[in-house]
């Protein structure tokens, strides 16, 4: 009986250690992904505030580039109210049917002084994060 209880206790211990390790690994993966999504969104918004339409366009996902030609995107960036400041408020990352996706919430300050809160969908494309959807 003592041997069975010892074996059960050892098995429970191994399961607990395994679950804790898996939880820590998962937390680290999400944390790394959210950092990458934040960096990509900041890089995109930095290009937008500098007026670098080509740089910003290159950071869009394929679906968005299909909807916006480079010329349309450049034209849209030049139309007021343009963005002159931004702040990232939140980053959320999840896996959807095997695709890593995220949402970055940012406060965009327009040249007029108006502040607009936008949720920017993000998608992981290989090892790079890209902005999807309507970025303005």
Closest CA to 35 of 104, 85, 131, 136: 104
Residues, the chain:
136
Q: What is the pLDDT of residue 13?
A: 61
Who's near 42: CB < 8 A, 6+ residues apart? 88
pTM over 0.85: no
pLDDT of residue 78: 82
Residue 105 CB burial class (10 angstroms; 0-12, 13-18, ≥19): middle
pLDDT, tens only, 20-79: 544 443 444 444 446 899 999 999 999 999 999 999 999 999 999 999 999 999 998 888
pLDDT tens-digit map of 87-125: 999 999 988 788 889 999 999 999 889 999 999 999 998
């Amino acid at each position: 009986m003592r041997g069975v209880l010892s074996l059960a206790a050892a098995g429970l211990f191994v399961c607990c250690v395994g679950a804790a390790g898996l939880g820590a690994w998962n937390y680290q993966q999400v944390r790394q992904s959210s950092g990458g999504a934040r960096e990509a969104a900041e890089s995109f918004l930095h290009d937008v505030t500098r007026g670098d339409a080509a740089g910003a366009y290159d950071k869009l996902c394929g679906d968005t580039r299909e909807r916006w030609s480079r010329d349309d995107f450049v034209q849209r960036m030049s139309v007021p109210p343009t963005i002159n400041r931004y702040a990232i408020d939140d980053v959320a990352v999840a896996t959807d049917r095997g695709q890593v996706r995220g949402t970055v919430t940012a406060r965009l300050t327009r040249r007029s002084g108006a502040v607009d809160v936008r949720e920017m969908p993000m998608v992981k494309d290989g090892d790079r994060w890209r902005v999807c959807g309507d970025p303005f």
